[in-house]
Amino acid sequence: SQQGEEDPQALSIQEGENATMNCSYKTSINNLQWYRQNSGRGLVHLILIRSNEREKHSGRLRVTLDTSKKSSSLLITASRAADTASYFCATALFGSKIIFGSGTRLSIRP
């Protein structure tokens, strides 16, 4: 079974709008990472947030982590057509095993 579950499973927004994806996980983690995957290709690492951090920014990306609720969110601001992809959260359990969630399919409408 998946360690992380993303919500929503699919999201369609207008170009220029903000996109928010959520991830919930089950067990204690060392860190949480977000990845992007374009149509059946490899995954691209977006951002890593450690368990002792609450928020992190990278360009148009903002990630929050709430370890008390075992949840994280990824915000993409000012979305572009190139942001169309599947987004996965991944939790690193203690012992370097990374478990991926089920993913959110993001579509950006022109």
Partner 1 sequence: KAGVTQTPRYLIKTRGQQVTLSCSPISGHRSVSWYQQTPGQGLQFLFEYFSETQRNKGNFPGRFSGRQFSNSRSEMNVSTLELGDSALYLCASSLGRDESTEAFFGQGTRLTVV
- In the complex with partner 1, which residue's Cβ is closer, 18 or 27? 27
Tell me how many degrees the CA angle 60-62-67 measures, rounded to the nearest 5.
Answer: 165
Own/partner long-range contacts of 62-69 (Cβ < 8 Å, ≥24 apart): 63/32, 63/34, 65/32, 67/28, 67/29, 69/24
Binding interface with partner 1 (CB under 8 A): 2, 30-31, 33, 35, 40-45, 48, 50, 88, 92-103
Give me the least distance between CB of 55 and partner 1, in Å please: 17
- In the complex with partner 1, which residue's Cβ is closer, 31 or 73? 31
Query: CB atoms < 10 A from the CB of 3, how many?
Result: 20
In the chain, the amino acid numbered 64 is T
Give me the least distance between CB of 107 and partner 1, in Å please: 17
- In the complex with partner 1, which residue's Cβ is closer, 15 or 47? 47
Give me the least distance between CB of 52 and partner 1, in Å please: 11
